[in-house]
Amino acid sequence: MDKSDRIIPSKQPIYLEGPRSRGYELGFALKVFWQFIKAARTLHFVGPCITVFGSARFTEENPYYKVAREFGKQIAAMKFTTMTGGGPGTMEAANRGAFENGGRSVGCNIKLPFEQKPNKYMHKWLTLEYFFIRKVMLLKYSYAFVVMPGGFGTMDEFFNTLTLIQTKSIVQFPMVLYGKEYYTPLMQVIEMMSAQGTISKEDMSLVLLTDSVDEAMNHIKTYINKNYEIKPRKRLWLLFERG
C-alpha cells in the first residue's frame, strides 16, 4: 500500500461518551417534566379536538392549503377544536379555517434551529422544545386525526398514531389520509406489509383514504358519535384554572 492509500486519522477524534453527567440527566428530566406540566396546564380545557397534520411548506396558493382550511371550517361546525402543530402551511390553513368560522383553534408549536413562528390563527398555543412531548400533546386531546400530504414530520406523526392504534393504546380513533394521488403509493406499501404478515389488516380499519372533505368528516362523525360522549372538564379555582 503506497502513501496515497493510507487512512489518515482525524486530528480531532470524536468520543462517544454515552450518558452525560448525572446532574445533566437530572436537569434534562426536570426540564421534560416541566414542559409536560406547562403543556397540560395550557391545553387542559381546549378539547375535544381534532388534530390536522401536514406539510409546513404549502403556501396559500397551494390546493392542499385550501383543503386544510376547509377541514378547519368543518371541524368548527362540529363544535370541535382544531389542533395543529401551530406553524405555517397546512397547520396555518387548518387553524385559519376554524379561527375565521367561529371555532376554537389551538396549536403545539416546536422550537427549531431555524425559527418556526406560531401562525396568527390560534386562540391558544404553546412552544415546546422536544418533538416527543409535542407528539404526545397533539394526540392527548384529540378524538380523530386528519393527515394531509407532508414530509418526514407528517409521516412520523402518522405512523406514531398508527402504532398507538395497533397496540390498542388508543381505541376507535378514526384517521383520514387526504390525497389519494399522494398517499396511494404509501398505502400500497402498507398493503404489502399486511400481506407479509408484519401488520394485521384490522390495524388499518379506522384509516380512510379520500379526496373528499365531506367523506372524511362523515367518517370521523360516525366513529365519534358511535363511541364517545363528550363531557366538559371542571375548573378548579384552587389551581387558578382558566379556560
CATH of the domain at 139: 3.40.50.450
Alpha helices in 44-104 (DSSP H): 63-77, 90-99
> Is residue 43 in a domain?
no
Residue 18 located in a structural domain:
no
Q: Is residue 35 part of a domain?
A: no
Domain assignment of residue 27, yes or no: no
pLDDT score for 235: 64
Is residue 33, in this structure, part of any structural domain at all?
no
Q: What is the tens place of the pLDDT at every residue in 177-215? A: 999 999 999 999 999 999 999 988 888 888 999 999 999
State the Rg of the chain over Cα: 21
Structural domain for 65, as ranges:
49-226
Q: Identify which of 227, 8, 43 has the alpha carbon closest to the alpha carbon of residue 123.
A: 43
Confidence (pLDDT) at 202: 84
Whole-model pTM over 0.95? no
Set of cell numbers at residue 86: 401551530
Split at pLDDT 50, 70, 90, the class of 139 is: very high
Q: What total number of domains does the chain contain? A: 1
In-domain check, residue 174: yes
In this structure, is residue 17 part of a structural domain?
A: no
- Rounded to 10°, the helix 131-140/22-43 angle is 30
Asked if residue 38 belongs to a domain, the reply is no
Of all residues in the chain, what percent carry a pLDDT higher than 90?
67
166 pLDDT band, cuts 50/70/90, is confident
Q: Decide: 82 and 103 in contact? Cβ < 8 Å.
A: yes
| Percent with pLDDT over 70 in the chain | 87
